[in-house]
A and B are shown apart, each in its own frame.
Chain A
Amino acid sequence: MTGPRRRADLSRFRVLSEAGARNAALALSQILGRPLSLDVPWARVLPLERVADMAGGASRVVCALSLKVYGEARGSLLLLFSREQVPVLLDLLVPRPAPGRNGAADLHSLDEMERSALMEIGNILACAYLNALSRLLGVSLLPSIPGLAVDMVGAVTDHLLIELAPVADDAVVLASEVHEPASGLRGEIFFLPHPDTLAVLERPHSGAR
């Protein structure tokens, strides 16, 4: 990829970002039985070395679900929750008797059930997100099984840079955020399309809303 994407492309990507996140928010609100809202989605071109900044900087600790996207457009999906929000999310998904969960989780403090609940959430959000894009673009997009980590943003995003670095100096990032007002739960969704398949995403949007 050479030079920054044109403004028109980015506004198209923003529409995709919004549609994907809206569908993901809908799916999550059905699972949690609570309404979710969607924050302003954006699409930007970032130099690779700045990708960690998109998610609050390299040292912020998050719960990350990472998926590869296969099909007629390739890319990577990254879903993030602040580490402090892991107990909030888990309490909504797999409630535990009082006193419940405490403090900030790390991967090793999560039991098998909790890990699989988080991975299931990753899977559902990713499928919902990609379904919306598939509908708009008229292409088939499939997610891999999610990988789970609780770690620093730098550490959970560097595989994205590693993948892009041989072919690009910039990353196109589609970002959006969903939140559940009552619990304050907030999840961030990032889609980084592979440069080879940007043309697929730039096609005129055809599908129904």
Chain B
Amino acid sequence: MTRARWLRAGELRVSEAPDRLAIHGLGSCVAVFVYDPEARIGGLAHILLPGPPNHPTDRLGRYATTAVAAMVEESIRLGARRSALCAKVTGGSRMFSSDATSTRPTVGDKNITAALHALEEARIAIVATDIGGETGRSVVADLADGSLTISTVRGGPKIV
């Protein structure tokens, strides 16, 4: 198995099998994994915010809308078929006790909504989600089989 490439906050990367893309310690941020299971090409983004600022930005991985668009475009450029692309979404936790009881949408909630909306707009099927909750997640996206392995400090890995 190849060594995973780790993404920092706000980064995105598109690659192909047998690469694995990973994020350590995802809290209120959201991870979106877009891939083509046949071509075994896809990308992972570590998203901080729902949408970009008003001024132009080159930090495409930071925002749900720009990250989804960039991953789709780059995956197609590498040989993925648009109609075959599907997505898995995770993250968006309420990390602190004070957020956990809040009735107002937290930034995690807004990130999830924005990511799901951006995928729907791009007509990409969302095949799995593991979102919300009160714990951080580490995720590994495997382009060889399209799996997303999620672990937390509370328990062993779960594969979606």
Indicate whether A and B interact: yes
Seen from chain A, the residues whose Cβ lies within 8 Å of a Cβ on chain B are 48-52, 57-59, 61, 64, 66, 106-108, 115, 119, 144-159, 161-162, 165-166, 169
Which B residues contact A (CB, under 8 angstroms)?
Answer: 8-11, 23-29, 48-49, 53, 59, 62, 93, 95-99, 107, 134-138, 153-154
Q: How many CB-defined contacts (below 8 Å) exist between A and B? A: 110
Please give me the residue from chain A that is nearest to B154 by CB atom: A106
A66 touches B96 (CB 8 A): yes
Contacts of A66 in B (CB 8 A): 95-96
CB distance from B113 to the nearest CB of A (A): 15
Interchain CA distance A159-B98 in the complex, whole Å: 13
Known: A107-B134, A154-B27. 6 other contacts (CB 8 A): A49-B8, A59-B138, A145-B98, A149-B97, A154-B24, A158-B25
Q: Which of B27, B53, B99 contacts A158 (CB 8 A)?
A: B27
Chain A residues with CB under 8 A of B98 = 144-147
User: Taking CB as reference atom, which chain B residue is nearest A53?
Assistant: B8
Nearest CB on A from B128, distance (A): 20
Q: Are A108 and B29 in contact (CB under 8 A)?
A: no
Determine whether the beta carbon of A150 is less than 8 Å from that of B153. yes
Please pick, from B11, B48, B99, the residue contacting A165 in the complex, using a CB distance under 8 A: B48
Residue ID in chain A nearest B8 by CB atoms: A49
Kindly list chain B residues whose C-beta atoms are within 8 Å of the C-beta of A115: 97
Whether A155 contacts B48 by the Cβ 8 Å rule is no
Using A49-B10, A155-B135 as known contacts, say yes or no to A58 and B97 having CB atoms under 8 A apart. Answer: no
Residue among A48, A144, A146 with max Cβ neighbours from chain B (10 Å): A48
Chain A residues with CB below 8 A from B136, complex form:
149, 151-152, 154-156
CB pair B29–A151 under 8 Å, yes or no, is no
Which chain A residues lie closer than 8 Å to B99 at the CB level?
147
Say whether A161 contacts B24, CB under 8 Å. Answer: no
**B153 touches which of A48, A49, A151, A158 (Cβ 8 Å):** A151
